[in-house]
A = this chain, B = another copy of it.
């Protein structure tokens, strides 16, 4: 029975006692869900402490915890130990292409589509091959043997030597991540990630109910000691070793080895995303190389070769072969052989390398322009498609909307944040996306002026 009378007590949310039914925790959760969905509780409203509600409803604290947990996994509320439970905002942070008119795109990272002329030439050649029909049927769900040979070749360029038995073809980088998370982890599992990471990965993890545990970084990437501190808590770790998104930080060999050692010692599962390896130094080895028994390694061709064809490669440890390959059947059945054929042909006829070379030239030029307006810290990748610009706190307010008013799409660091609170403020600027270098200059100049007052 309640210790006090609550009749005149002010709670921000009061479930109706009379509507309680068995099971208690479900009936409470559905009342809360109803009130949030119907707008009676606005985003960021602080709910009463679990203890107060439990007392008010005359039930046990942990029954209340369970009710809240149900709503939390649905994304309706979020809880901070020591602080309280709050109604979740319904904003989505995932980044994807919108068809804007007259907006300079510096938000989403376009992979420099100028090289697509070289791709379309190869497409034209392929349709004249006499085996075209064999590319249009159901066979080889994991990739045709010579498609896998090309994949192996491409993965070797990133300094990972794999048997074709440990390689499959996926429908792009995001698809590889979805595959890795659904097959290697269970809902409720925890995964270590950088404090700032790729927002579509954050949303994917949310969708699959995999909890992210933020780990601090320094100028060389994730700090090994910080990973070690959480590794009894987590089942795996997600890393982008070259040109981490959004910070543009690349790990040196020492850091890669240090992280690998921790992953091996604690038998974590490594999800390595090597999407930008083609922009880094040629002698860097993937972390997976040092974690031969616990890795899933994804290397998309969307940024390096062509984005529209949606082809990614995934390589994995022997012990994961069954899980990954079965996951591919479950999520996709297969990836189109025609699309894989185009990428295979580009790799085999050397055009893929030309494309990479050309992209590097173009992005070097754009980075040079960038330095006319802002600095590039020494630890960040020179040839990055995007830059991570620190801004003062007072400049951060509504900065995305304010930039959009000036005709520029950018993203604020909060989108990339896996923690609840942010300290430092940044914006990520995609310098590969503006249509040409003139547009890039216009964008950078506008931003410089916008930030100007507050930057000094």
Q: Which residues does A use to contact B, with CB under 8 Å?
A: 73-74, 92, 94, 96-97, 99, 108, 110-111, 113, 116-117, 119-120, 123-124, 127-128, 132-133, 135-141, 171-175, 178, 182-183, 186-188, 200, 203-204, 207-209, 302, 306-310, 322, 326-327, 329-339
Other-chain contact of A182, B140, B173, B175, B208 (Cβ < 8 Å): B208
Q: Given A116-B137, A137-B116, A326-B203 in contact, is the A308-B331 Cβ separation under 8 Å?
A: no
Chain B residues within 8 Å of A183, by CB: 207
The reply to whether B99 and A140 form a contact with Cβ atoms under 8 Å apart is: yes
Q: Which residues of B contact A137 (CB under 8 A)?
A: 110, 113, 116, 307-308
Instruction: Contact check, A127 vs B123: say whether CB atoms are below 8 A apart.
Output: yes
Q: Which residues of chain B are near A138, meaning CB under 8 Å?
A: 97, 108, 110-111, 113, 302, 307-308
| In the complex with contacts A326-B94, A330-B207, A133-B120 CB distance below 8 A | yes
Q: Which residues of chain B are near A139, meaning CB under 8 Å?
A: 97, 99
CB within 8 Å for A333 and B172 given contacts A73-B186, A136-B308, A186-B73:
yes
Contacting residue for A186 out of B74, B171, B174, B336, CB 8 A = B74
Complex alpha-carbon distance, A314 and B211, angstroms? 29
Which of B178, B203, B310 makes the CB contact (< 8 A) with A335? B310
Question: How far apart are A416's CB and chain B's nearest CB, in angstroms?
Answer: 16
- Residues of chain B with a CB closer than 8 A to A309's CB: 136, 336, 338
- A110: chain B residues at CB < 8 Å are 137-138
Selected contact of A187 from candidates B97, B113, B187, B335, CB within 8 Å: B187
With A120-B133, A186-B74, A338-B339 in contact, do A330 and B200 touch (Cβ < 8 Å)? Answer: yes
Give the shortest distance, in Å, between A24 (CB) and chain B (any CB). Answer: 16
The contact of A120 among B136, B171, B203, B337, by CB within 8 Å, is B136
Q: Is the CB of B174 within 8 A of A331?
A: yes
Give the residue of B97, B127, B331, B336 whose beta carbon is less than 8 angstroms from that of A124.
B127
| Nearest-neighbor residue (CB-CB) of A95 within chain B | B329
> In angstroms, how far is the closest chain B Cβ from the Cβ of A294?
14
Identify the 10 closest CB pairs spanning chains A and B, nearest first.
A187-B187, A136-B308, A174-B333, A138-B307, A204-B330, A96-B329, A113-B137, A178-B331, A310-B336, A116-B136
Asked whether B200 lies within 8 Å of A333 as measured between CB atoms, the reply is yes
Residues of B within 8 A of A330 (CB): 94, 174, 178, 200, 203-204, 207
B96 touches A333 (CB 8 A): yes
Residues on B with C-beta less than 8 A from A140 are 97, 99
Measured between beta carbons, the chain B residues less than 8 angstroms from A120 are 127, 132-133, 136
Smallest beta-carbon distance A185→chain B, Å = 11
Contacts A92-B326, A137-B116 given: A171-B332 contact, CB under 8 Å?
yes
Chain B contacts for A335, CB-based, 8 A: 171, 310
**Would you call A136 and B171 a contact (CB within 8 A)?**
no
Q: Which residues from chain B contact A331 at a C-beta distance below 8 Å?
A: 174-175, 178, 204, 331
Q: What's the least CB distance linking A245 to chain B, in Å? A: 14
Additional A-B contact list (16), CB under 8 Å, known A174-B330, A187-B187: A73-B186, A99-B140, A108-B138, A113-B133, A116-B133, A124-B127, A135-B308, A136-B308, A173-B333, A178-B331, A186-B187, A203-B330, A310-B334, A310-B336, A336-B336, A336-B339
**CB proximity of A93 to chain B, nearest CB, Å:** 10
Q: Which residues of B contact A327 (CB under 8 A)?
A: 207
A-B contact pairs, 21 of them (CB 8 A): A94-B330, A96-B141, A96-B333, A108-B138, A113-B137, A116-B137, A120-B133, A123-B338, A124-B127, A136-B307, A174-B329, A174-B330, A174-B331, A183-B207, A187-B187, A203-B329, A203-B330, A207-B327, A310-B336, A336-B336, A338-B339
Q: Is the CB of B207 within 8 A of A182?
A: yes
A356 shortest CB reach to chain B, Å: 16
Kindly provide the distance from the CB of A233 to the nearest chain B CB, expressed in whole angstroms: 12
Distance, CA A378 to CA B421, complexed state (A) = 65
Q: What B residues does A73 contact at CB under 8 A?
A: 186
